[in-house]
Amino acid sequence: MQKKLVQSSLAMAAAAALGLGGAFIAGPAVADTPVMTEQQAVTAAKQVSTVNAFGFDEKTKTLHLGVENEADAGSAQIQELKKKYGADKVEVITGLKKAEPYAKNDAVGGMGYISDIPSQPGYVGACSTGFSGWDAAGKPIVLTAGHCAEDTGPGELVKLKDAELPSTAPAVTGDHESGGYDPQGIGPLGAWGYNKFGGPVTDPENPDEAADDDIDFAVINLDDSKYNVKPEVTDWTTAKTDDLSGSTIDINSVGEHSPGEIQKSGRTTGLTTGEVAAGELWPFDFQMVGDRWVHGFGVTSPVGGDFSMPGDSGGGVFQGDKAVGVISGGIPDPVTVGGETFMWGWVADLDYSLEQSGASISFDDPNEEPPGDDEAEADASAAADGTDADASAAADGEDADANAAAEGDDANASDSADADAKEADASSAAEGDDAEASADADGAEADASAAADGKDDEADSDADGDEKPEAPKVGDQSVAAGGKITGKAAPNAEVKLTWKTAGANAGSAQAAPAEGTVTVKTDADGNFSAEAPAEAGDYNYTAVATVNGQTSDATQFVVTVEAEEAPAERKLTIEPKEIAASDFVKEDKGVQITAEGFDEGEKVSLEVVAGPENVEGITLEETANADGVVGFSIYGTSASNPEAYLGKYDLEVTGANDTEDEEALTGSFQVVADEDGNGGGNDGDDNGNDDGNGDGGGSDLPRTGAELTGLAAGAGLLLVGGAAVVLTMRRKKNN
């Protein structure tokens, strides 16, 4: 892969703007070494054709490069980097081969899946699923590797065919070359969602093609009419029964990998264990997998104990119950680095991939009812039914006793002379007893009803008896328009945010809506975030958390949405506008060009578009600093013949982010003969007035951009094609 080194110096403004005094750079032989930034390191590493892995240590400003052998370590591109940034700031480690993707194109984290290859009719490919769960909308998804989705390139996708039959997969049979590929007969897992396989270097002349989203990551939107989501990882011990869910490991969160032991589940090698590669052994953030750069981390395992192999791609990589990545690729042969020999694999880190892709995954079923409600209601119903039954029995017993007493009294009365009187008494007694029995029955039923209601109330209380969650923890905060509001509440809770404007919205011609409401869900650690209003101003917020139907107290806080700063006005400053030739060729004098109003990090170009006939035009490039300012310096190097530079020089300055309606900044300066200047070249002792306004023939501003080298102005000077004065460039100090 052909790559081009990026110009890595950060731009400098004029000395007055940055307050750094009079001399940033001495002569060319003692030029300051620029300080490398992460963006420059990433871009530079991607442009070195022999580099197979790289990483950047922000603390020490050191670029770590991984190459295959000593010959690669000595390449001209790497030596140029060392020369530019210092040998101690570019560390090269040998023994690192280019990794290969682990999806087989001629033929999926835990369960295997197979796909038809449109570009190769009759062939299927096999990969592994990483993790299953639900996206932010509550839809079922499966995560896997991005290269498993690609056929011939980005946008050209393979066709999902079926889950792979576990009992014949290589993890069971041991046939890692041709085993498996048998369909399970269920049907396709679903349809491809987001997918991305790294970022190839397609234009070696374009250093801006480096991208943060060089990830190996894909989402499958699961067909829930065929498959059920089970947010667990199989350990492959039940594969012979063709049921991988028989023995699993629970996954509860996504997080960053940590040093130490790590595990993976995939269809080729099953459940394996390795070690996260130590930073000093493997200080790289990007690895070339196939012909793509992929962000992630390395895993080592003993020789003969592969952590992963072809077909494991997309397989779930985890530590405990935390998902940390999916398999991206690896090197099939043992690797020796720093005297250690091991097997090596590359893992696309899941937290980074989710962030870059904008995707999300939850391992809690959003459609599941909170536990306990149904059981409590059932217990309450049973209690009520039992009490009613007891009351009914008591009432029946009292009725029966009353009837028996009535019949006995009736019989005795018929044997006596005063039968009618006794019968009347018996009837009265019977009716009295019956009335008492009825009253007792009613009372019993009333007591039973009351008891039932009481138990029902208790049951309802038990059902709703989850403790009230704590109020969300959110403080006053200031964010940019459309930025993120953050806070913390109970894990996996729903947090309802309600806001109203606190007053007029400064910096905005359009008023924000008077009020709004949004509900978000916390993660397993209780963290939540929500998008802030798009209009600037102060907003009074209220946050309430809900867990299992219980609602917390409200938390009130203020969000200040900051108005965007108006872009800085474009401005070009040239000092001095006129300079004597004898001053122009002094290293501590020259013409300083300062351009303002660009974006931080924007590439800014200065071009000498016109000048004396004996001057050849050039283009210089620098990077705008945090204030959007960039500086250049031009001076001559032929002190013996300063007249070579006499004339007017027209300049144009443009930015890489310029739009079509933005015009170039233009200006000019003039080199004049000493007798025409304002005291320049008086005695060569720099005793002129150096305030930069031209009245001293020049100014003592730093040399930060370019040199004019007189090559064809007269006898004794080096001739280049018998013609032009050539402009040469020297980098300025990185500040």
> What CA–CA distance (Å, rounded) separates 322 from 257?
9
> What CA–CA distance (Å, rounded) separates 727 from 724?
9
**Contact present, 39 and 600 (Cβ < 8 Å):** no
Q: Homologous superfamily of 100-357 in CATH?
A: Trypsin-like serine proteases (2.40.10.10)
CATH class of the domain at 571-729: mainly beta
* pLDDT score at 528: 93
Average pLDDT, stretch 445-473?
A: 53
More confident position, 566 or 419? 566
Q: Quick one: DSSP state of residue 88?
A: G
Minimal CA–CA distance to 9: which of 490, 604, 582? 604
For 336, residues 6+ apart whose C-beta sits below 8 A from its C-beta are 95
Average pLDDT, stretch 293-317?
A: 93
In the three-class reduction of DSSP (H, G, I as helix; E, B as strand; rest coil), residue 665 is classed as strand
The encoded tokens of residue 312 equal 């494991």
> What CA–CA distance (Å, rounded) separates 542 from 275?
45
The encoded tokens of residue 500 equal 């109203």
The encoded tokens of residue 183 equal 């369909």
Average pLDDT, stretch 133-158?
A: 91
**Contact present, 414 and 423 (Cβ < 8 Å):** yes
* pLDDT score at 351: 96
pLDDT confidence tier of residue 165, bands split at 50, 70 and 90: very high
* pLDDT score at 608: 81
* pLDDT score at 112: 94
Provide the residue type at 676 as one letter.
D
Q: Is the pLDDT of residue 664 over 60?
A: yes
DSSP string, 241-305: GT-GGGSEEE--EE----SSEEEEEETTTEEEEEEEPPTTT---SEEEETTEEEE-EEEEE-TT-
pLDDT confidence tier of residue 635, bands split at 50, 70 and 90: confident
* pLDDT score at 562: 82
Quick: pLDDT tens for 185-227: 888 999 999 999 988 756 544 434 447 889 999 999 999 888 8
> What CA–CA distance (Å, rounded) separates 536 from 482?
9
Quick: pLDDT tens for 621-632: 888 888 888 888
Tell me whether the omega of the peptide bond preceding residue 576 falls within 30 degrees of 0, making it cis: yes
Average pLDDT, stretch 670-698?
A: 47
CATH class of the domain at 33-91: alpha beta
> What CA–CA distance (Å, rounded) separates 63 from 45?
8
Quick: pLDDT tens for 474-496: 988 888 877 889 999 999 999 99
- 406, 410, 412, 415: CA torsion to nearest 10: 180
pLDDT confidence tier of residue 267, bands split at 50, 70 and 90: very high
Q: Homologous superfamily of 477-562 in CATH?
A: Immunoglobulins (2.60.40.10)
Tell me what the pLDDT averaged over the chain comes to: 72
pLDDT confidence tier of residue 154, bands split at 50, 70 and 90: confident
Average pLDDT, stretch 121-140?
A: 92
Average pLDDT, stretch 363-367?
A: 87
pLDDT confidence tier of residue 642, bands split at 50, 70 and 90: confident
* pLDDT score at 491: 93
Quick: pLDDT tens for 504-521: 333 333 333 447 889 999
The encoded tokens of residue 507 equal 């910096």
Provide the residue type at 479 as one letter.
V
- 373's enclosing H/E stretch is helix 373-414
For 346, residues 6+ apart whose C-beta sits below 8 A from its C-beta are 99, 287, 289, 294, 296, 297, 298, 299, 327, 328, 329, 330
* pLDDT score at 387: 42
Q: What are φ and ψ of residue 716, in 5° steps? A: 80, -5
For tokens 């899946």, the residue is 113
Most confident by average pLDDT, 57-61, 189-193, 290-294:
189-193
For 731, residues 6+ apart whose C-beta sits below 8 A from its C-beta are 7, 9, 31, 34, 84
